[in-house]
Amino acid sequence: MIYELLKRHEANFFIMYASSKDPNFYYAVGMKLPDPAFYAVGEDGTEMLVVHEMERRRAERESRVKEIVSLSDVGFYEKVKELGVEKALAETYAEILKEHRARKILVPKEFPSFLYKHLSEHFEIEIVSNPFSKLRSVKKSWEIKEIKKASEIALNALKFFLEIVKRKREIEELRKRVELFVYEKGGLAEDTIISSGRRSADPHFVGEGIVEKHVIFDIFPKVRASGYHSDFTRTVIIERDEEIVEMLRACIEAKNEAIKIIREGIEAKEVHDKVCDVLEDYGYKTIRQKAKEGFIHSTGHGVGLEVHEEPKIFNSEDKLRSGMVFTVEPGLYYERIGGVRVEDLVLVKKNGCEVLTRFDDYVEVVP
Amino acid sequence: MIYELLKRHEANFFIMYASSKDPNFYYAVGMKLPDPAFYAVGEDGTEMLVVHEMERRRAERESRVKEIVSLSDVGFYEKVKELGVEKALAETYAEILKEHRARKILVPKEFPSFLYKHLSEHFEIEIVSNPFSKLRSVKKSWEIKEIKKASEIALNALKFFLEIVKRKREIEELRKRVELFVYEKGGLAEDTIISSGRRSADPHFVGEGIVEKHVIFDIFPKVRASGYHSDFTRTVIIERDEEIVEMLRACIEAKNEAIKIIREGIEAKEVHDKVCDVLEDYGYKTIRQKAKEGFIHSTGHGVGLEVHEEPKIFNSEDKLRSGMVFTVEPGLYYERIGGVRVEDLVLVKKNGCEVLTRFDDYVEVVP
């Protein structure tokens, strides 16, 4: 795919400069690097990783990139005194690329400006969407296995929550216990949303205070060993409120109708439109109508090494592909009432999709 | 400090585009934002945060920035269809900045290239070191409190490790138990280095297999509630080996001699040179001599919201300031033998420094 991209843009190299905290970089090099390093893949078949000398041996052993170059082998440390770190890095990388006869280079949107500027003096540079974001959007079977593990943890975390919320109502305490439970299962959940009352009208409000009549439980744990996430939400009814139950019903129907049409080949937009159709039929306003209350976010997003990644399930005409994993998460939000949301994680298949977070849609706790 | 920076560069605005995963952005806006947003501070006293409509209310409540602008209030969503997301973002931000009569703008080194390029069509842009990196390097008293909590957790984790390593030798199992211990104490430790044998010659090798004659225990937990880290290392002797014990002795002396001279006003370089002096006196080679074995990394780095942040304790003539928190971590690494390292976290004061990780330097476990 990257070779095609290079050909299409008539470019010689695609490069990245990042640490392994950047999931695209981590995916490309296949090892943890706490400090930024340089990755280059060329139309001539070159694929190299340039690291500090102290990371060389480890990179040779751990990285999936075969050609490891140490900065000390390419004269970087001699350049630093004269040029300073940044210019020395840029000049070093430029020399390497020139040795490979690079003239035109592709960089990802998030490529740091300081290098973009320096390298622009040597090469024609074009900014592109990171091809690794797209590569990562279609999961390999071992990645799906990890996402399934994370989903299992998420489901069990909700079961655990449903038990303890019968006796406890302090949200901070509930979150603490749920996240410890997840950790003990080999997962890691941070900023788990347990939001209740009117402030749950803000989709990313993590929640605080006391559980009131309903609670949004939105958990997106990763498997610690692999770094792959799940993402799963249920709205739990504690005390029936007609308005909230009706909102929840609409979201459940929207989610399930959308899931029914998901299969390889349809456009992301069709899924989003289906969710909007159902919610609008119920009489709620949606983002498609530029509403500021009601359904005010996109239908979903890819999940993998990141909780938010490709594909975006929104307005786009991009076609769904087999192996994509993303959320379907209709929600309704009103400042006067609060918010509700239901969210499943699905895996796209040739003739349909698999729900990775099978759980009752309507959840009620009778304390 | 940012006003001075703007003045010095004769610029009207400093801007960032990032999510709260970027600690500089998080520090500036004081709230968690999972998706990228736009921050701008101007010489005219403007300070604003531009977010998606769905984050507006939460930003108004949670951010330390007073002026919150929603993308829907500034015509972004109308632009998207025609221009695509990226150009629409750039044009929207450009309009906002022009309303404030901006002509010259500062962006940080890590500013994404796509916005740099678009905004360059409207403004003169200069790339600078992120001023928030420097601001963050001097800790406020509440930040120091959090780092002390993290350090307490790190020290207790080592004590716990020293107990369990008497009976267990499987590194993966030891790491799992140590990290669970940390989690139960309110911390989060990932990629804790427990490395033994010859492969410990790679400073960032996390370790696997069985504990042999010595083990590097390097833990850098954060307090989950605040996100502030500690960073702390001891080399634990399991079975005395003359070469290793001698290397360790040299590192301990290098660390302690360096700590003795740390106080406000001296240069980072002086600390690094002291470490190199001691190690070279012992007959070991150092990075100052461009050695590829021996002491092959810098003396230390700042610790706070990130494990690696400003200041760098290396070749720099930057002066240490009261309130800086950084590591002092001499190590010696030989492929034939393995590595040793001792690391303390210190807080710079007017006339000295406070060690935040007080623990015996020489640690031996008799199983």
Q: Domain boundaries in chain B?
A: 2-135, 141-364
Token representation of residue B221: 């937990």
Please check whether residue A75 touches B, CB under 8 A: no
Angle A171-184/B171-184 helices, nearest 10 degrees? 180
Q: Is A314 on the interface with B (CB under 8 A)?
A: no
Check A203 against B54: CB less than 8 A apart: yes
- Cβ of residue B283 closer than 8 Å to a chain A Cβ: no
Which residue among A58, A183, A184 sits closest to B205, beta carbon to beta carbon?
A58
Instruction: Identify the closest residue of chain A to B84 by CA–CA distance.
Output: A316
pLDDT at A267 over 80: yes
Pairwise CA distance, residues A119 & A123, whole Å? 6
Q: How far apart are CA B140 and CA B323, in angstroms?
A: 7
Is A110–B107 a contact, with Cβ atoms under 8 angstroms apart?
no
Give pLDDT, residue B367.
Answer: 64
ipTM exceeds 0.90: yes
> Within an 8 Å CB–CB cutoff, is residue B107 touching chain A?
yes
The H or E element containing residue A164 is helix A141-164
A99 touches chain B (CB under 8 A): no
Partner-chain residue, chosen from A108, A113, A202, that has the shortest CB–CB distance to B107: A113
**Which residues from chain A sit within 8 angstroms of residue B202, using beta carbons?**
54-55, 57-58
pLDDT of B314 reads 94
Task: Enumerate the residues of chain A whose CB falls inside 8 A of the CB of residue B112.
Answer: 109-113
Query: Mean pLDDT over residues A304-325, rounded?
Result: 96
Give how far Cα A254 sits from Cα of A192, A317, A328, B85, Å: 24, 20, 9, 26
pLDDT band at A26 (very low <50, low <70, confident <90, very high): very high
On whether the CB atoms of residues B343 and B233 are closer than 8 A, the answer is yes
pLDDT at A1: 86
How far apart are alpha carbons A230 and A181 in whole angstroms?
16
Tell me how close the Cα of B58 comes to any Cα of chain A, in angstroms: 6
Same fold, B2-135 and B141-364: no
Q: Is A110 on the interface with B (CB under 8 A)?
A: yes
A241: distance to nearest CA of chain B, Å? 24
Is residue A117 within 8 Å of A91, Cβ to Cβ? Answer: no
Asked if CATH classification 3.40.350.10 holds for the domain at B2-135, the reply, yes or no, is yes
A138, two tokens: 């279609």
DSSP annotation of B49: E
A183 and B CB contact within 8 Å: yes
CB B126 within 8 A of CB B17: no
Query: Alpha helix (H) ranges present in chain B?
Result: 2-8, 23-29, 56-62, 76-83, 85-99, 113-120, 131-137, 141-164, 171-184, 242-261, 268-281
Report the chain A residue with the minimal C-alpha distance to residue B129. Answer: A114
DSSP string, B299-321: SEEE-SSSSSEEEEESS--PBP-
Contact list, A72 vs chain B (CB under 8 Å): 290, 292
What does the alpha-carbon distance between residue A230 and residue A135 come to, in Å, rounded to a whole number?
A: 18
Q: How far is CA A2 from CA A8, A50, A65, A119, A352, in A?
A: 10, 19, 15, 20, 28
Residues 6+ apart with CB under 8 A from B26: B20, B32, B227, B305
Chain B residues with CB inside 8 Å of A128's CB?
A: none
Rounded Cα gap, residues B247 and B231, in angstroms: 21
Chain B residues 317-346 with CB within 8 Å of chain A: 333, 335
B186 Cα to chain A: minimum distance (Å):
9
Q: What is the pLDDT of residue B125?
A: 98
Count of residues in chain A: 367
Alpha-carbon span B162 to A47, nearest angstrom: 43
Q: Are B86 and A109 a contacting pair at CB < 8 A?
A: yes
Among B113, B184, B191, beta carbon nearest to A127: B113
Does A291 touch chain B if contact means CB atoms closer than 8 Å? no
Looking at the complex, report in whole angstroms how far the Cα of residue B351 sits from the nearest Cα belonging to chain A. Answer: 31
pLDDT higher than threshold 80 for residue A16? yes
Q: B170-183 burial string, b = 16+ CB within 10 Å, else e?
A: ebeebbeebbebbb
Nearest-CA residue of chain B relative to A109? B114
| pLDDT at residue A367 in the model | 63
State residue A146's pLDDT score.
98
Q: What is the pLDDT of residue B1?
A: 86
Block means of pLDDT (10 residues each) for chain B, length 367 residues? 96 98 97 96 96 94 97 91 92 97 97 98 97 98 98 98 96 97 97 97 96 97 97 98 97 98 98 98 95 95 97 94 98 97 98 98 90
What is the assigned CATH class of domain A141-364? alpha beta
Residue A181 to residue A27: CA distance in whole angstroms: 28
Chain A contact for B127, CB < 8 A? yes
B190 touches chain A (CB under 8 A): yes
Residue to test with chain A: of B113, B301, B314, most A Cβ within 10 A:
B113
Closest chain B C-alpha to A321 CA, distance in angstroms:
22
At A45, is the pLDDT very low, low, confident or very high (cuts 50, 70, 90)? very high
